[in-house]
Amino acid sequence: MTKRFYIETYGCQMNKNDSEVMIMSMEREGFVHTENLDDSDIAIYNTCSVRSHAETRVLARMRLGKKRVRGKKGILAVTGCMAQRMGSDLVKKGLADIAVGPYESPDIGGIIRLFLNGRGKNVFTSQEAANFHDRIMAEPGGFGDASWHRWVTITHGCENFCSYCIVPYVRGKLISFKSDTILSYIKTLAETGTKEITLLGQNVNQYGTDSGDIPFHRLLEKAAAVRGLIRINFITSHPKDFSPDIIKIIRDNGNISRSIHLPLQSGSDRILTLMNRNYDMSRYMGIVELIHRNLESYSLTTDIITGFPGETADDFDDTLACVRRIRFDDAFMYSYSPRENTPAAGIQEDLSGVEKLQRLNRLIAIQRGISREKLLERLNMHERIIVECISKKSRLEVMGKTFLNHPVVIPGNKEDIGKDFIVTIKNLKGNTLQGIRLDR
């Protein structure tokens, strides 16, 4: 009898892409995807370990999933970063039946088939090169039905070892996929209807440094030259490796996104050193200046951690001052969360959870105001958008994103999805820009 699988995805875009690869692998083995947990025989939880909150949330979901899928004698699989970090424990405790880490999850269909036949083992967390399965799969049509947007993972893992971060431990060393494979995959996508891609890596600027392949800016340039792509995005950049060449390539190619995500983490040089980020504020500001001088229109977004161990009131004020000075379009802001076995977890924390949160909330309030002002600057501008979906608020409207990655709602219908339009921004409602098509 056909078995159905359900999948829930947490964490970063790489996990989203991994889930797509897993869906493909499961479908190849004859399993059928369902959006409904109660209707599934196999529930897959593709998890994230980056902060303890992320883990607690998934564990609660898994407990619920276990009851519902097991009610029908189904199985529960944990994949992704928590599978790598604590998969064997989760299996031992009975919360998961099988744990498959990021190295082997692209082959999850075969793994689960063997397991169901009673022949497979139940913990797959090797980080041996031999067990690494390439995740770029250049099949016509990509993953399932042709779609306007695709994630394209260009590197796996991370070797930067920022002192607070668990990613290098759970994802393993930097592995750059071959540029030829990536580019022929992108061509296949473009030929089969994809209009927009996002190149993914924990630090895309390090692309090729492990394998001696072309540098990131060349890969970006070659991707931009693929016919048929309306927009190319890339995340994440690391200030220590971000080269001026990237800005030139963006400037010279109208189909590369003007939204640059450049995680700052802290505005204090002392804290940046403790974080092992390998840049200081003067380097960061140098990049911001260069972007400003070279790109007519751009948006800058960032990640910031508050309450890193040893962060004084002065260090925190430095971060606030940077945020006010740089005026990011948006920021992902987090309260520091100690992660087991990372160097920062060994540093004594002086702040209580409440104090860390107070700092976070002060930062969020300031950034919110700036984000709103930046959005208001877009009023009356002409922007190019790619339509993504029907608006959540009205069936007579659609939502698309601009080249600065701002969501804009315009009148439209489902026929518009995947198409690009030039719009005039007319209004800001809540945090959403509203526009009208120029050709209507």
Interface residues with ligand SAH (CB under 6 A)? 50-51, 164-165, 167, 202-203, 236, 238, 263, 265, 303, 305, 334, 336-337, 339
Instruction: Name, in order, each residue with C-beta under 8 angstroms of 69's C-beta and a sequence gap of 6 or more.
Output: 6, 37, 40, 41, 42, 43, 75, 76
Q: Output the six-digit token pair for 209.
A: 């440094």
Residue number with CB closer to ligand SAH (102 or 263)? 263
C-alpha 364/C-alpha 227 separation (Å) is: 40
Q: Closest approach of Cβ 18 to ligand SF4, in Å? A: 15
Q: Closest approach of Cβ 50 to ligand SAH, in Å? A: 5
For every residue of 1-35, DSSP letters joined together read: -PPEEEEEE-SSHHHHHHHHHHHHHHHHTT-EE-S
Instruction: Name, in order, each residue with C-beta under 8 angstroms of 66's C-beta and a sequence gap of 6 or more.
Output: 43, 76, 95, 96
Chosen from ligand SAH, ligand F3S, ligand SF4, none, partner binding at 14 (C-beta under 5 to 8 Å by type): ligand F3S
Residues 14-43 that bind ligand SF4 (CB under 6 A): none
C-alpha 55/C-alpha 181 separation (Å) is: 34
Q: Which long-range contacts (CB under 8 A, 24 or more apart) does 410-414 make?
A: 410/385, 410/434, 410/435, 410/436, 410/437, 411/436, 411/437, 411/440, 412/387, 412/437, 414/390
Chosen from ligand SAH, ligand SF4, ligand F3S, none, partner binding at 170 (C-beta under 5 to 8 Å by type): ligand F3S
Asked whether position 160 contacts ligand SF4 by CB under 6 A, the answer is: yes
Residue number with CB closer to ligand SAH (80 or 412)? 80
Contact positions toward ligand F3S, by CB under 6 A? 11-12, 14-15, 48-50, 80-81, 166-167, 170-171
Look up residue 38 and give its DSSP letter. G
Beta bridge partners of 434: 409, 427
- Tell me the residue type at 300: L
Q: Closest approach of Cβ 48 to ligand F3S, in Å? A: 3
Q: Output the six-digit token pair for 119.
A: 């022949």
C-alpha 240/C-alpha 319 separation (Å) is: 18
Asked whether position 167 contacts ligand SF4 by CB under 6 A, the answer is: yes
Chosen from ligand SAH, ligand F3S, ligand SF4, none, partner binding at 81 (C-beta under 5 to 8 Å by type): ligand F3S
Asked whether position 332 contacts ligand SF4 by CB under 6 A, the answer is: no
Q: Closest approach of Cβ 250 to ligand SF4, in Å? A: 21
The correct pick among 112, 162, 199, 323 for binding ligand SF4 (CB under 6 A) is: 162
The correct pick among 67, 89, 144, 161 for binding ligand SF4 (CB under 6 A) is: 161
Chosen from ligand SAH, ligand F3S, ligand SF4, none, partner binding at 168 (C-beta under 5 to 8 Å by type): ligand SF4
Within 93-215, residue ranges assigned H as helices are: 108-116, 167-171, 179-191
3-state SS record for 369-398: HHHHHHHHCCCCCEEEEEEEEECCCCCCEE
The helix (H) or strand (E) run that includes residue 251 is: helix 244-252
Chosen from ligand SAH, ligand F3S, ligand SF4, none, partner binding at 161 (C-beta under 5 to 8 Å by type): ligand SF4
Q: Closest approach of Cβ 44 to ligand F3S, in Å? A: 14
The correct pick among 14, 165, 223, 260 for binding ligand SF4 (CB under 6 A) is: 165
Residues that bind ligand SF4 (CB under 6 A): 158, 160-162, 165, 167-168, 202-203, 238
